[in-house]
Amino acid sequence: MSARDDILAGIRRSLGVKGSEAIRRQIVQDRLERAPRGVVPARGQVSGEERVGLFKTMAEASLATVTEVGSPGEVPQSIALFLRNHNLPATLRMGDDPRLQAMPWSDTTLEISHGPSGGGDLNAVSHAFGGVAETGTLAMISGPENPSTLNFLPDNHIIVVSAKDITSDYESVWNRVRFSFGKGGMPRTVNWITGPSRSGDIEQTLLLGAHGPRRLHVIVVRE
Amino acid sequence: MTVHTTSPQFKQNATRALHDVQLQKALNNVKQGFIDKRQAAADKLPEFEALRDSARDIKNHTLEHLDLYLEAYEAKVKASGGHVHFARNADEAREIILKICREAGAKTVTKGKSMISEEIGINHYLEANGITPVETDLGEYIIQLRNELPSHIIAPAVHLNASQVEQDFRRVHTHLDAKRDLSEPVQLLTEARAVLRERFLAADVGITGANFLVAETGTSIIVTNEGNGDLTQILPKTHVVLASIEKLVPTLEDVSQLLRVLARSATGQEMSVYTTFSTGPRRPGDADGPENYHVVLIDNGRSSMLGTSFEEMLRCIRCGACMNHCPVYHAVGGHAYGWVYPGPMGAVLTPSLIGVDKAGHLPNASTFCGRCESVCPVRIPLPKLMRHWREREFERHLTPASVRSGLNLWGFFAKRPALYRFATRAAMATLGFAGRRRGRFSWLPLAKGWTKHRDFPAPQGETFQARWQRERSRRTA
Ligand code: SF4
């Protein structure tokens, strides 16, 4: 017997089932199809200004920095200012996200490059798929628009998120993923990011910038 | 497979640990750090207790239907272009992994932190076959340099102090300036970051564990704070996920429930920094990510725990809260347990996986104070399961000598003043903390733990020794 069949047979023996029971199959089928929500904390169940406010508070509690701009057109200036304020070089790596492409980068002196990171980029910007107010978490989706390496290799990661994409809870993000990718479908990678990289492995001391970005800066776009 | 374990020498291990000054200093960090942070995180979320119930129920439901969820999961991984391999035991798992590495022409393999990888001993096996494994979690990297096992499931190097890490870095990173300053933890971190960055970029295969697998979508999930697991899996051409079969959950909603209790129970964070959901290899148009995606599903003893009283142990999500709150762990650390899994969860799981003949001492390494159960996010009745192991030893009619040594262990703990002092001091400190903040004995999870295990008294009551005497007379009655 193959290892697979052997393991399944062993599980069935232990559970005292055959695996063909219609009722068990139905229960599993139903759960996979309905995907019931469990306990969703009340904390995130707010809307409008309050939800964006909660997102900011929670993201800052995770040691990200957050700023708001009124429109996408203000993002390049905001990033240039952030880099200047931290004495960082005026370079920026990004993918092909059309929302980022449409921004007026030529208003700034930023030196822009495109594509995934090979490890030599200090600064990168990505556009989030969404944000979760409950914990100040950003949801990123892999692809040529926002390559996953940009989330991890640069020292300073800037994430742009539209206020309208900030949801109350994780479950709402999954609903949007299903809407985009079909029920049961997923992008290759979904990254939830809550704050900059850190480690507590040396004497339980919290240190930022373990392997991923030392800084996480979030720009919330109002319009 | 021969399991390398010092579990049978638990007593000797414990004695050594109690006299290890460096270790005792490091263990203080566990007591001081994790307990307060977890409590603060739980207090901030009114639904925390309800989420623990929900987490327990999801795991129970999945285990009851594990055969069907595995089939559903497998079909989804295949549909997304990934490969699924099944391994009955550690030997099979190691062979599968080696074969994948060979096919990828691998020279070096980066690794994210994974307990199952420790369980199957993959590092030594790869090394013996000419492939260099590189642990990338900072704590795992440190213990790999020292050729040790992790002493904690989420903080593998918690038994070490910064000065010890400095010595190891100086010993191994000989290409760096010998006069460099490494006196601050941040300098150690920066050095490890630079050294490992090169390793990430050079690796041919990346091996990670999985905190969860989702049947609905064929997704594997890793949770890290460092980002090392992500660099491990997106940079090399091939990503291999190692997961034991009980990591499965039905849906994305279900895993979101579990994620809400995992980080809070583990480190007291609202959410870990990086939670990564991976489904299959690189898609058309992708500019990065692995070209090959393999999942190795490992049984290694789990399927025979189903349907027994130890099935409940398969709910474990490896958060570490039980050891963070365990007075015995605080006193002796993780290595004394002698194998991969320490603390209360190890005391229950290790005999299931490597045999009660080797690990029969571990279920006795407990004060039965009930704190582990009171904090376990999936409500595993750890003290009850430890008692079950002890009862099994009796039922199985182990040789009188082994039974005696089991009982002797109670005596060992009861009679060791140092251990007694550590254990009670830890318990008192916690109670004092709870009392100061919220009024005496109103720390509900703890109080609940105590009332549930009613035979354990309030702290100023019965002594360890009295407890042992009573336990012994009941046993022999
Ligand atoms: S037994 Fe419970 S508390 Fe211990 S590691 Fe597992 S889930 Fe966490």
For every residue of chain A, which 3-state class applies, written as one string? CCHHHHHHHHHHHHHCCCCCCHHHHHHHHHHHHHCCCCCCCHHHCCCHHHHHHHHHHHHHHCCCEEEEECCHHHHHHHHHHHHHHCCCCCEEEECCCHHHHCCCHHHCCCEEEECCCCCCCCEEEEECCEEECCCCEEEEECCCCCCCHHHHCCCEEEEEEEHHHEECCHHHHHHHHHHHHCCCCCCCEEEEECCCCEECCCCCCCEECCCCCCEEEEEEECC
Contacts of B260 in chain A (CB under 8 A): 41
Q: How far is A27 from chain B (nearest CA, A)?
A: 9
- All structural domains of chain A with their residue ranges: 3-33, 44-221
CA of B463 to the centre of ligand 1 (A): 27
Q: In the CATH hierarchy, which top-level class contains the domain B20-298?
A: alpha beta
* CA of B315, closest atom in ligand 1: 7
pLDDT band at B10 (very low <50, low <70, confident <90, very high): confident
Which of B37, B73, B271 is the mutation pick for testing A, counting most A CBs within 10 A? B271
CA of B84 to the centre of ligand 1 (A): 27
Residue given tokens 């200047």 in the structure block: A84
Contacts of A38 in chain B (CB under 8 A): 51, 54, 58, 253-254, 256-257
Average pLDDT over residues B427-449: 36
Interface membership of B283 toward A (CB under 8 Å): yes
Contacts of B278 in chain A (CB under 8 A): 188-189
pLDDT at B44 over 70: yes
pLDDT at B467 over 90: no
Average pLDDT over residues B27-47: 90
Give the pLDDT score at B392. Answer: 79
Mean pLDDT of chain B: 84
Give the pLDDT score at B473. Answer: 54
* CA of B153, closest atom in ligand 1: 5
Average pLDDT over residues A13-29: 97
pLDDT band at B377 (very low <50, low <70, confident <90, very high): very high
Provide residues with CB under 6 Å of ligand 1.
B 316-322, 345, 376-378, 380
Complete DSSP assignment for B215-281: TTTTEEEEEESSSHHHHHHHSSSEEEEEEEGGGEES-HHHHHHHHHHHHHHHTS-SS-SEEEEE-SS
- Inspect the interface and report whether the beta carbons of A7 and B279 lie closer than 8 Å: no
CA of A141 to the centre of ligand 1 (A): 31
Instruction: Count contacts between A and B (CB, < 8 Å).
Output: 271
Give the pLDDT score at B416. Answer: 53
Mean pLDDT of chain A: 96
- Inspect the interface and report whether the beta carbons of A43 and B45 lie closer than 8 Å: yes
Strands B292-298 and B238-244: parallel
* pLDDT tens string A133-167: 999 999 999 999 999 999 999 999 999 999 999 99
Interface membership of B137 toward A (CB under 8 Å): yes
Give the pLDDT score at A85. Answer: 97
Which of A94, A203, A205, A206 is the mutation pick for testing B, counting most B CBs within 10 A? A203
- Inspect the interface and report whether the beta carbons of A38 and B254 lie closer than 8 Å: yes
pLDDT at A221 over 90: yes
Residue A21, burial from CB neighbour count under 10 angstroms (0-12, 13-18, 19+): exposed
Secondary structure class of B379 (helix, strand, coil): coil
pTM: 0.88
Give the pLDDT score at B263. Answer: 96
Give the pLDDT score at B418. Answer: 52
User: Which one has a higher pLDDT value, B174 or B432?
Assistant: B174
Question: ipTM greater than 0.90, yes or no?
Answer: yes
Interface membership of B286 toward A (CB under 8 Å): yes
Give the pLDDT score at B30. Answer: 79
Interface membership of A142 toward B (CB under 8 Å): yes
Q: How far is B469 from chain A (nearest CA, A)?
A: 37
* pLDDT tens string A47-59: 999 999 999 999 9
pLDDT at A18 over 80: yes
Q: Specify the DSSP element, H or E, that contains B109.
A: strand B108-111
User: Which one has a higher pLDDT value, A104 or B402?
Assistant: A104
Give the pLDDT score at B474. Answer: 52
Q: Which of A42, A187, A210 lies at the smallest CB-CB distance from B189? A: A210
Average pLDDT over residues B232-248: 97
Give the pLDDT score at B413. Answer: 52
Secondary structure class of B95 (helix, strand, coil): helix
* pLDDT tens string B284-313: 999 999 999 999 999 999 999 999 999 999
Q: Which of A147, A185, A209 lies at the smallest CB-CB distance from B288? A: A147
Question: At B37, which amino acid appears?
Answer: K
Give the pLDDT score at B435. Answer: 36
What is the rounded CA–CA span in Å between residue B373 and residue B383? 7
Contacts of B308 in chain A (CB under 8 A): 14
Give the pLDDT score at A202. Answer: 87
* CA of B318, closest atom in ligand 1: 5
Complete DSSP assignment for B5-49: --GGGHHHHHHHHHT-HHHHHHHHHHHHHHHHHHHHHHHT-TTHH
Interface membership of A122 toward B (CB under 8 Å): no
Give the pLDDT score at B455. Answer: 33
Give the pLDDT score at B178. Answer: 92
What is the rounded CA–CA span in Å between residue B413 and residue B411? 5
pLDDT at B11 over 90: no
pLDDT band at A3 (very low <50, low <70, confident <90, very high): very high
Residue B174, burial from CB neighbour count under 10 angstroms (0-12, 13-18, 19+): exposed
User: Which one has a higher pLDDT value, B256 or B474?
Assistant: B256
pLDDT band at B33 (very low <50, low <70, confident <90, very high): confident
pLDDT band at B437 (very low <50, low <70, confident <90, very high): very low
Q: Which residue of B has its CA nearest to A199?
A: B226
Give the pLDDT score at B410. Answer: 45
- All structural domains of chain B with their residue ranges: 20-298, 416-476
User: Which one has a higher pLDDT value, B395 or B145?
Assistant: B145
Q: Which of B227, B279, B283 lies at the smallest CB-CB distance from A212? A: B227
Question: At A105, which amino acid appears?
Answer: W
* pLDDT tens string B130-163: 999 999 999 999 999 999 888 888 888 888 899 9
Interface membership of B241 toward A (CB under 8 Å): no
* CA of B266, closest atom in ligand 1: 8
Q: Please say whether the beta carbons of A191 and B177 come within 8 A.
A: no
Give the pLDDT score at B98. Answer: 98
* pLDDT tens string A52-93: 999 999 999 999 999 999 999 999 999 999 999 999 999 999
Q: Please say whether the beta carbons of A123 and A89 come within 8 A.
A: yes
Q: How far is A33 from chain B (nearest CA, A)?
A: 8
Residue nearest to atom 8 of ligand 1 (CA): B319
Which of B30, B68, B223, B261 is the mutation pick for testing A, counting most A CBs within 10 A? B68
Q: How far is B235 from chain A (nearest CA, A)?
A: 8
Give the pLDDT score at B419. Answer: 54
Q: How far is CA A204 from the centre of its chain?
A: 26
Give the pLDDT score at B27. Answer: 86
pLDDT band at A168 (very low <50, low <70, confident <90, very high): very high
Question: At B221, which amino acid appears?
Answer: I
Give the pLDDT score at B29. Answer: 78
A44-221 CATH, one of 3.40.50.720, 3.40.50.300, 3.30.499.10, 3.40.50.10420: 3.40.50.10420
Interface membership of A170 toward B (CB under 8 Å): yes
pLDDT band at B357 (very low <50, low <70, confident <90, very high): confident
- Inspect the interface and report whether the beta carbons of A41 and B253 lie closer than 8 Å: no
Residue given tokens 């980066």 in the structure block: B110
Interface of A with B in 20-79 (CB under 8 A): 24-25, 27-28, 31-32, 35-43, 58, 61-62
Q: Which residue of B has its CA nearest to A132?
A: B271
Q: Which of A37, A42, A119 lies at the smallest CB-CB distance from B253? A: A37
